Amino acid sequence: MANEGQQVSSGNAVFQTNGAGSGKWILRSGVTDKQWAAIKLGDAAEIGMAAGNGQTIAGKVTRKSEAADQANGLFTIDITVAGNHQGKIATGMFGSGVITTGAGNSHAKQKTEGWSVPYDALLDEDGSTGFVFVTSDNKTANKIKVTISGIEKDRVIISEGLESAGSLIISGSAYLTDHSPISIQN
């Protein structure tokens, strides 16, 4: 990365190594704080490579950053690829990952059913729990605790807590308190 005799500033890379032959591949991705809270170490993941003709590769979450990146505000997640994929993956390739939350935790409840709600409806999330506002009479907002079982591209999967809810409030939740009077706008 630098020629012999060339002057470089401190902190600049002059040599790069690549352990591509070792077979220990990772996909490093930025996630939002809501996604970070729902993801656990050991969660299963499926990785799709941009040049992979639609094929996916199995992996699992092996690292979660403890702080957000100052440049983009996202948290970093590392997904380690399972198995040896030498010759199919090259350093610098782009991919996408779908993480199944709770898959690496043997105590996690595995459910295939639930409610898919927008991220904006979820408040005060803390790992696998959070709160949403619902209404049964379209006049009063009620804050209820819910269990988060998964995260999709732009939605959260709720496995418990919405069984007796009439309607979910998806807009203006940040301005509500439990038992706030509301009016529904078309």
- What is the 3-state secondary structure of 75-95? EEEEEEECCCCECCECCCCCE
Residue 113, pLDDT score: 58
CATH fit for domain 115-181, picks 2.40.340.10, 2.30.40.10, 3.30.70.330, 2.40.420.20: 2.40.420.20
Per-residue burial over 66-93, b if 16 or more Cβ lie within 10 Å, else e, is: eebeeeeebbbbbbebeeeeeeebeeee
Q: Where are the domains of the chain?
A: 23-100, 115-181
Asked whether the beta carbons of 30 and 69 are under 8 A apart, the reply is yes
Distance of CA 37 to the CA centre of its chain: 8
Q: Note the pTM of the prediction, 2 decimals.
A: 0.47
CATH architecture of structural domain 23-100: Beta Barrel (2.40)
Low-confidence residues of the chain, pLDDT below 70? Answer: 17-23, 50-54, 84-87, 102-113, 127, 153, 186
Angstrom distance (rounded) from CA 77 to CA 101: 13
Closest CA to 43 of 89, 74, 77: 77
Residue 134, pLDDT score: 92
Residue 142, pLDDT score: 92
Q: What six digits make up the tokens of 105?
A: 């935790």
CB atoms within 10 A of CB 111: 13
Residue 119, pLDDT score: 82
> What SS3 state is found at 126?
strand
**What's the pLDDT tens digit per position in 11-29?**
888 877 665 556 678 888 8
Q: Do domains 23-100 and 115-181 have the same CATH topology?
A: no
Angstrom distance (rounded) from CA 104 to CA 107: 9
Residue 107, pLDDT score: 36
